[in-house]
Structure 1
C-alpha cells in the first residue's frame, strides 16, 4: 500500500466508523438527537478530508516506532481499560495482513524520547500484543488537537457508553478546555454537552467507578439517577456497593441493583418510649423517646429546670466523653 493510500485510510476509516456509530446511536435514541448528530458527523468527515489533503501536501510520512515508547493520552476517557486478546478481530486482522492504517502520535510534551498517541489506541494495543513495531504518523499537535483526535476515536467506538462520554466531557472541562472544544471532541451540541457534564457532576465519581461503563444504560436512565441524587444517597448505598455480590455482577446489572436499592422504601425504625425516675429518688421525672435519628428527654416536676440547665452546660463534656469511649472501643 502506498503512502498516499495509507494516509487516506487513516481518515477514511474515521469517517466510515463515525457514520456507522451515528447510525446505531440514531436507531436507539429517536429522531431529534440523531439529526443533530448526523450534521455534526458530516462536518467532522469534511474536516477529516481536509486534514487528509493537508497531510498529503505536507509530505508526512509513516514511520515505525517501538510501541513501548508510546504513552496513552493525557486525559482519560474510559472508566476501565479493555485489553485486547488474540481472539479479537482487529488483532487477527493485523496478524494476517499487517497494520494497514497508521496511528497518529505526537512527541511527548514532557519527554522528548517518548510519544503520546492521539488516534489509534486499539491499533496500538493490538500491535503491542503481537510484538510488532507500530506504523505511525508523527505530527506536531497541541493539547486541543489531541483532545479532538481522541474525541474522533471515541465517536467511532460503538461500545463507548453514555456515562463514559459524560465523564470524558467533565474531565476535559476540569482540565480547562472550553466548551466549544469539548463539543467538537464529542461531536455533540451545547445542550447535550450540558446534560453530559451535569450527570457526571451530580453522581459522585466513586459511585460511577463502582458501577462501571454500563454499556446498556442510556442517557435517560443516567439523567434520572442524577436528578434523584442527594447528599444522603451515597451513604445509603455504601453497604451495597461494598458487597461482594454487587462487585461480582456485570456493569449493567450493578446499575440496576443500585437503582432498585434507591427505589426500595426503608423500613421505619420502631419508636421506643418510656418513663424515667432517679433510683435514689428526688423531685424529678422524665419521659424518654427514641425514634430513628431522633432522641428526646423531657424532664418535669420540681428539679427539672435546674437539672436540665445542669445537663445543657455539660453537653460538650458529655459528648467528648462519649466519643472517647467509642474510640477506645475501636468503633
Structure 2
C-alpha cells in the first residue's frame, strides 16, 4: 500500500506547491496578466478569497500548467462513477448561474482519453463541465498525463476536499473499482479506508441490486449501520416486495433520504397474507441450482431444479426440525 499512499501524497503535493505560488502571486503588484496566463491569474484571485484549506488545495492542483480551451463534446466523464447525485440538469442550477454570471474561474482537469484519439476524460470538475455544456460554452481545462490509478486516487482527493461521499456512494465507488480489477490497496487509498471497512462497503453494494441503489439515491442521512442492515436482510423476496414502491410516482418525487425511509418502512410492514408472491431464487455465489418460490395465504412452496437440486433438497429436509426451532426461538 506504500506506493499507493506515495501516489496520493504526490497528487496532494501538487496542491501544496501551487497554493504557495498562487499566494505569492496575490501579493505581487503587477499589471493584469494577458494571454494564456489570464485564467491562472483569475484562479489565484479566487484562491485568495477562499478560507477553507481543503478547497484551496483542490483548486490549486489546477494551476501550474497551461490552460487550454476545449469543446465540451470532446470530453467524456471519468471511467468510474462515484457520485449518485445527478449533474446539473437546467439553467436554474446554482453552479450554472454562477458560471453564467462570473465565467469559469477555475479550469477543470482532464487527461487524454486512453482509448480514443483526440478525446479527453475529465478527472476533476464533472459538475463544471456539465454546467458549461448547458451554457453552450467552451471549457477551460488543464491536460495532465495520469494513469488509471492516478485518476481514482485523484477522485478520492477531490471528494475529501469538498462534500464527502455518502456511505452508499462510497460503497458503489469501491464496488465499481473492484469490478474493474483495481487492487484492494489502491481502493483503500482512494477512499482513505482500511481493509475491513472496504470489505463491508463492497459487500453492501454487491448485495443490493444497483438499480435499487440508483432508485434510492445517495441518501446522505442513511449511514453505515442502516445500509448494512438493509444489505444483510436482502433476498429475492425483498426485491419482489419493493417492486410497487420503487415504480410509484410518489416514491420518485421524494428526496433521497425520504426514499430510503420509505423502503425501510415498506419492508418492516407485515405483508398481506392474502397476496400471492412468486419469485425466482438463485445463490448469491454462483452455483448449479435454481429455485421457484410461491407464497400465498397460509401456504408456501419451494421448488428446486438443476444440478444440485436433489442433494440440497435432501440437506434442507434433514434440518427442518433444526431450522424450525431456530425460527421459533427468533420469534
- Given that 2:152 and 2:190 are in contact with CA atoms closer than 8 Å, whether structure 1 keeps it comes out as yes
TM-score, length basis structure 2: 0.63
| Larger Rg belongs to | 1
TM-score, length basis structure 1: 0.63
Residues 273-284 of structure 1: matches in 2 within 5 Å? Answer: none
- Given that 2:111 and 2:145 are in contact with CA atoms closer than 8 Å, whether structure 1 keeps it comes out as yes
Cα-to-partner distance string for 1:213-253 (whole Å, 9 max, x where unaligned) = 22332222112211222343222222332334333433222
1:98 paired residue number: 103
**How far, CA to CA, are the matches of 1:211 and 1:176 in structure 2?**
26
The RMSD of aligned alpha carbons is 3.5
2:135 paired residue number: 130
Aligned length: 245
Distance apart, 1:62 and its partner CA: 1.1
Distance apart, 1:133 and its partner CA: 1.7
Structure 1 pair 173/222, CA: closer, same or farther in 2 (3 Å)? same
Residues 150-299 of structure 1: matches in 2 within 5 Å? Answer: 150-158=155-163, 160-268=165-273, 291-293=298-300
Distance apart, 1:207 and its partner CA: 1.8
Cα-to-partner distance string for 1:27-54 (whole Å, 9 max, x where unaligned) = xxxxxxxxxxxxxxxxxx6xx79x959x
Distance apart, 1:97 and its partner CA: 2.9
**How far, CA to CA, are the matches of 2:146 and 2:118 in structure 1?**
16
Higher mean Cα deviation, 170-179 or 197-206? 197-206
Cα-to-partner distance string for 1:89-125 (whole Å, 9 max, x where unaligned) = 4333333332221111111112211111111111212
> Partner of 2:110: helix, strand, or coil?
strand
Cα-to-partner distance string for 1:116-163 (whole Å, 9 max, x where unaligned) = 111111121222222222111111111111222222233344274321
Structure 1 pair 93/73, CA: closer, same or farther in 2 (3 Å)? same
User: Structure 2 regions of 5+ residues with no counterpart?
Assistant: 1-32, 276-296, 303-331
2:25 paired residue number: none
